[in-house]
Amino acid sequence: MTNVARADGMSAGTLTFFGDVLKGALPVALARWILGPIPSSLALVGFAAFLGAIASAFLRFRGGRGVATSVGVWLMLAPLPILIALVVFAAILAISRIVSLASLGAAMSLPAATAASGAPRQYVLLAIAMAALVLLRHRANIGRLVRGEEPRLGARRSG
C-alpha cells in the first residue's frame, strides 16, 4: 500500500489498503459463516489469506508485507488485539513518520495484545507466526532503518 501511494498517490494507496483489508477479512468471514466459530479453522483460513498476500501464487510467490491483509484477518478473528496494534501503529507513525517502523511496531505488539485479550491459543500462535513473517518481509526496510535511509511519510524519494 505504501509503495502504491508513493508511486500513484494517496487515492490509489487508500484503495489498495482497503482491498488488502478485504483480502484478509472476507475469507475469514466466509469461513465463520460456513464452519462456525471454530478457532483452529478460522486461524488456518486467516493464515492462508495472509500467506496469499505475502507470497501469491499469481505473482510467482511474491507479494507485499501482509500488514493491511492482517488487519482484515484480525478484524474478523479478534478485533480488540488489532485495535491495540493499530493504536501502536498510529503512535509510532505520529512520532517517526516512518510507515515501516510503525508496521513493525504494530506487528510486534499483536501477539501480546492477542494473549492479553484472552483470545484462543490458536489465535495467539497465529499472531506469533504472522508477526514473525511481517518481520521477515520487512528485512530490507530494517536495513534501511538501521542505516537511517528509510523514507518518512510525505518525504520525496531522491533519484
What confidence tens digit (pLDDT) does each residue in 58-103 have? 777 777 888 999 999 999 999 999 999 999 999 999 999 999 999 9
Checking if the pLDDT of 159 tops 50, the result is: no
Provide CB contacts within 8 A for 143, sequence distance 6+: none
Checking if the pLDDT of 24 tops 80, the result is: yes
For the CA atoms of the chain, what is the radius of gyration?
16
CA 149/CA 33 separation, integer angstroms: 45
Measured in whole angstroms, how far is the alpha carbon of residue 76 from the centre of its chain?
Answer: 13
CA 145/CA 136 separation, integer angstroms: 14
Provide CB contacts within 8 A for 67, sequence distance 6+: 1, 103, 106, 107, 134
Checking if the pLDDT of 2 tops 70, the result is: no
Residue among 54, 39, 60, 62 nearest 130 (CA): 54
What pLDDT was estimated at residue 33?
A: 97
What pLDDT was estimated at residue 5?
A: 61
Question: What number is the average pLDDT over the span 45-55?
Answer: 94
Q: How many other CB atoms are found less than 10 A from the CB of residue 104?
A: 23
Share of the chain above pLDDT 90, in %: 75
What pLDDT was estimated at residue 83?
A: 97
Checking if the pLDDT of 57 tops 90, the result is: no
Question: What number is the average pLDDT over the span 49-54?
Answer: 94
Between 157 and 96, whose confidence is greater? 96
Checking if the pLDDT of 157 tops 60, the result is: no
Are the C-beta atoms of 24 and 49 separated by less than 8 Å?
A: yes
What is the dihedral sign for C-alpha 113, 118, 121, 126?
A: negative
CA 102/CA 155 separation, integer angstroms: 16
